[in-house]
């Protein structure tokens, strides 16, 4: 069957041939048999185009379905991994820094209360500030958090850091701005390397609590917002590291407040040291 759009194109083509013949637009006017043959050839061409488009669409749909199924299988497998850091912020946690800190870029204050980590920050210049809990470095991991901007500049960001190096000089950053656009960068030698370019995430709800997550297995990464995969990447630069939270602001004098809860990190069994009980 010829798709409706191609039927319209075919009808226009047939009408054009008829109109040209009727108006003497060519030096030799085709006879009815020639005109019928031209229309038949046009219909055959349109049919082949339609079949090609349908085959391409089917192949694309199958590829997307296969990718989605593969990702879903990975996520299901990650659901059975061991918790490295199941942090519900139900009490002051020894794994997280609390209190106040400042440097040349600005100041931050962290408090834990009411099952949330509250992060207040002020910028003296453009900055990205991260906070990393006390945890072992991981290669394969699943990382998630529920994050909410309370009062922030429109061009601010929040996000997750992962594969943070031992010297804390390099890491990946999955970041989302206040409007729901996201990107992935790598920090290397004090320079930001774009790995996933800025793009909108329609599933993100600006100003509300949203779940951000990263699944990393070897050099393959998947990025999720509110349970939906929004991007993936393959990068071999950083093989192992810790994970954490990040906020950022662009302008001197900016200030903001964010809340985080349900920070969860899991990894395959045996891939990280487990604490032993005291005798």
pLDDT (0 to 100) of residue 70: 74
Q: At what angle do helices 32-78 and 4-23 cross, to 10 degrees?
A: 160
Tell me the pLDDT tens digit for each residue of 33-75. 555 555 566 566 555 555 564 555 555 455 555 566 777 778 7
d(C-alpha 276, C-alpha 101), whole Å: 32
The candidate with the shortest Cα–Cα distance to 226, out of 139, 119, 129, 148, is 148
Please determine, for residue 25, whether its predicted confidence score (pLDDT) is greater than 50: no
Q: What is the mean pLDDT of residues 219-239?
A: 96
Rounded alpha-carbon distances, angstroms, from residue 7 to 3, 14, 51, 179: 6, 10, 13, 42
Sign of torsion over alpha carbons 40, 41, 44, 50 = negative
pLDDT (0 to 100) of residue 5: 38
Sign of torsion over alpha carbons 53, 55, 60, 62 = positive
pLDDT (0 to 100) of residue 121: 98
Confidence band of 130 (pLDDT split at 50, 70, 90): very high
């Amino acid at each position: 069957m010829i798709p409706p759009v191609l039927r319209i194109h075919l009808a226009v083509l047939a009408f054009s041939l008829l109109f040209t013949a009727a108006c003497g637009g060519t030096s030799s006017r085709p006879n009815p048999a020639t005109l019928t043959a031209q229309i038949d050839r046009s219909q055959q061409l349109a049919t082949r185009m339609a079949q090609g488009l349908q085959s391409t669409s089917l192949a694309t749909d199958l590829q997307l379905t296969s990718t989605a199924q593969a990702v879903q299988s990975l996520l299901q497998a990650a659901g059975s991994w061991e918790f490295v850091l199941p942090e519900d912020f139900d009490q002051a946690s020894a794994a997280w820094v609390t209190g106040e800190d400042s440097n040349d870029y600005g100041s931050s204050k962290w408090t834990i209360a009411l099952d949330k980590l509250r992060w207040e920050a002020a910028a003296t210049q453009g900055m990205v500030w991260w906070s990393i809990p006390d945890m072992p470095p991981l290669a394969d991991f699943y990382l998630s958090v529920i994050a909410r901007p309370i009062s922030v500049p429109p061009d601010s960001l929040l996000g997750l850091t992962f594969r943070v190096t031992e010297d804390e000089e390099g890491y990946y950053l999955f970041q989302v701005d206040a409007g729901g656009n996201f990107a992935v960068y790598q920090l290397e030698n004090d320079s930001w390397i774009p790995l996933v370019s800025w793009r909108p995430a329609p599933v993100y709800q600006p100003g509300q609590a949203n779940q951000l997550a990263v699944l990393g297995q070897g050099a393959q990464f998947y990025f999720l917002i509110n349970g939906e995969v929004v991007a993936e990447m393959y990068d071999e630069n950083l093989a192992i590291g810790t994970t954490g939270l990040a906020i950022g602001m662009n302008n001197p004098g900016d200030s903001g407040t964010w809340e985080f809860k349900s920070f969860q990190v899991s990894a395959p069994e045996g891939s990280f040291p487990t604490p032993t009980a005291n005798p």
